[in-house]
Chains A and B, each alone.
Chain A
Amino acid sequence: MTKRHDYDDIPGTFVFDAERSRQGYGINMFCMSLMKEENRKAFKANEAEYLKKFNLTPEQTEAILKRDYNRMLELGGNIYFTAKLGATDGHSFQHMAAVMTGSTQDEYAKMMLAGGRSVEGNRSKSGKDKPSKASSGKTKAKSTTLTKRK
């Protein structure tokens, strides 16, 4: 990752871009292989051995073996693919989300029920922390729609 992108400023987010897609081809194809029952069995029988088929870097292999989902994303994994690994482990998606956010599944579920994680304070690493114009809620369109929908 040499070039800086505007989206690198978003905290807690690994954008699956073309560069990561290239880097993480092995991780994602490994996850894709778990769609088949016989592959899930082979992986479960000997994880390290099974992973050798996918031309992974040592860091990628380690992240998969440790189920370090954030690290997998950072090294080119994509969430829709890594979710298949979570499912192979018998975990719900919410469990994975909780792991990635560093909270317990219970805490995470409660946060979602209470309306989710607020965007306030979570927009930017560099302090661009004010809402964009489009989301200011003071648009002309909003007021007209409210009256119209009566």
Chain B
Amino acid sequence: MAKIIAGVGSSHVPAIGAALDNGKTEEPYWKRVFSGFDKSKEWMAKIKPDVAIVVYNDHASAFSVDVIPTFALGCAAQFPPSDEGWGPRPVPVVKGHPALAAHIAQSVILDEFDLTIVNKMEVDHGLTVPLNLLFGQPKDEWPCPVIPLAVNVVMYPPPTGHRCYMLGKAIRKAVESYPEDLNVVIFGTGGLSHQISGPRAGLINSKWDTAFLDNLSKDPKKLTRIPHVEYMREAGAEGIEMVMWLIMRGALDDRVVEIYRFYIVPASNTAVGHIILENRLHSAKRWRKRNGLPKGQRPMPVKKRRAAAALRPVLRRGAR
């Protein structure tokens, strides 16, 4: 049986891609952004997913205003990087997983989510920048197949947060009914607060972003009730991209383990947010493996762990 083991939230700022492609990662301005993803790359290298589902949006690259699908699932064998005006990004072609993608499409459509199936599509920075942030810059190929799920957040109205969350649940059900043993990681991308259009461009709301990340981790249902107008008012007209993170969150357990978080302002015009959430069962399995414990033993509860840490001699950095 395939299963979703973890979720990753990440911004997909185009300037991050440009900094990578032009070798600017060591410049102080960019270093402070990229260093926030060092631990994430380590984590990703350790869990080695078999497939990644990446929820993202297209920015007038594959879709113009001729066709505007609300949810478009990439079922092709491969997705070339698109030319966004400066030539295609020098990243490997994204290989798909057509069998699992077709299975997901069939399952969620029967679950009443009317997806658009895309059998030919190019992918832009919205998808490739988060891949770089988590997988680094591989020369020849990405470490695992990727299933793109493009969401319309360009034309108002995008799907509601609740709809996104429920689609995440349907995707999880679909993945879990796939017969092959696959570990799947799901990405929610975009955001966090930013507005790049009109006289109010440049808006950033760190307080709102932090509350969003907190609730994403602990109380995602609260986020599903946020109306679109509030996203736009508080997090900027383009901040509405954050609904895509709820697809990722919906595909995880109700209670998750927050592995890592990173937040920095700004990269270009945007507040960069990043979070890694693991499903508990998987997290416990990894914990047992790390500590060489037998199957069945559960990790110590947080309270007990803290009590044990308090008894230990004071060696921890920063402890007084």
Contacts and interface: CB of A to CB of B under 8 A. Distances in A.
Contact of B199 (A12, A35, A84, A124): A12
Interface string B182-225: 00000000000101111111111111101110110111001100
Nearest to A25: B65
Given A18-B155, A134-B226, A148-B302, A100 B198 contact: yes
Interface string A29-67: 101101100000000000000000000000000000000
Interface stretch (B46-54, B91-99, B262-270): B262-270
B252 interface: no
B173 interface: no
Contacts of A104: none
A17 B156 contact: yes
B198 A141 contact: no
B68 interface: yes
B232 to A, nearest CB: 6
A31 B261 CA distance: 37
Residue with the greatest number of chain A CB neighbours at <10 A, chosen from B65, B208, B218: B65
Given A7-B232, A17-B157, A139-B215, A112 B202 contact: yes
B233 interface: yes
Contact of A6 (B197, B206, B222, B229): B229
Given A7-B229, A28-B64, A115-B206, A142 B211 contact: yes
A100 B199 contact: yes
A76 to B, nearest CB: 9
Contacts, number: 189
Nearest to B155: A21
Given A100-B199, A113-B266, A141-B215, A119 B208 contact: yes
A78 B234 contact: no
Contact of B271 (A13, A28, A84, A116): A116
Contact of A134 (B14, B59, B83, B230): B230
Contact of A135 (B199, B211, B218, B232): B211
B219 A80 contact: no
Contact of B154 (A11, A78, A124): A78
B60 interface: yes
Interface of A: 6-7, 9-18, 21, 24-25, 28-29, 31-32, 34-35, 70, 73, 78-81, 84, 87, 93-94, 97, 100-102, 108, 111-113, 115-119, 122-124, 131-132, 134-137, 139-142, 144-145, 148-149
Interface of B: 14-15, 59-60, 64-66, 68, 83, 85-86, 154-157, 193, 195-208, 210-212, 214-215, 217-219, 222-223, 226-230, 232-234, 237-238, 258, 261, 265-266, 268-269, 271, 302
Report the 6 A-B pairs with minimum CB-CB distance, sorted nearest first. A116-B204, A12-B200, A12-B199, A79-B197, A135-B208, A17-B156
